Amino acid sequence: MLVARVDYRVKNVASDPLKQVQLKFVWSSLSGEIKDQTTEYVVGYGDLPLAPQQIKSGFVQCGKGYIGRRVPVKVDIYLEDDERHWPLVIGLLVQ
């Protein structure tokens, strides 16, 4: 099964440690149909805070895959803070 994947790197450019960092990934088809939504806790409640200039990386995959073929999808990435979110990347094409 083939699935879309996004690798990410988060760097704390502030002077204070970050206690929580959440990224929301919204996966959609080229026609706009939402395929999946995922929240990635880059720094969560059980993690050590992300110190200034420290980098944390990881990856996230779309929950919808296709057998034997690659299907392009788009992903919107948001920075989340409980009920609010701010767009970081909109309409990134993943092939």
Local confidence band at 79 (pLDDT 50, 70, 90 cut-offs):
very high
What is the 3 state secondary structure string of the chain? CEEEEEEEEEECCCCCCECCEEEEEEEECCCCCEEEEEEEEEECCCCCCECCCCEEEEEEEEEEEECCCCCCEEEEEEEEECCEEEEEEEEEEEC
Select 2-94's CATH number: 2.60.40.10, 3.90.420.10, 3.20.20.150, 3.30.70.141.
Answer: 2.60.40.10
pLDDT number for residue 45: 86
The domain spans of the chain are 2-94
Can you give the pLDDT at residue 25? 97
pLDDT, position 90: 95
| 95 or 15: which leads in pLDDT | 15
Please, what is the average pLDDT of the chain?
93
In this prediction, residue 12 carries a pLDDT of: 95
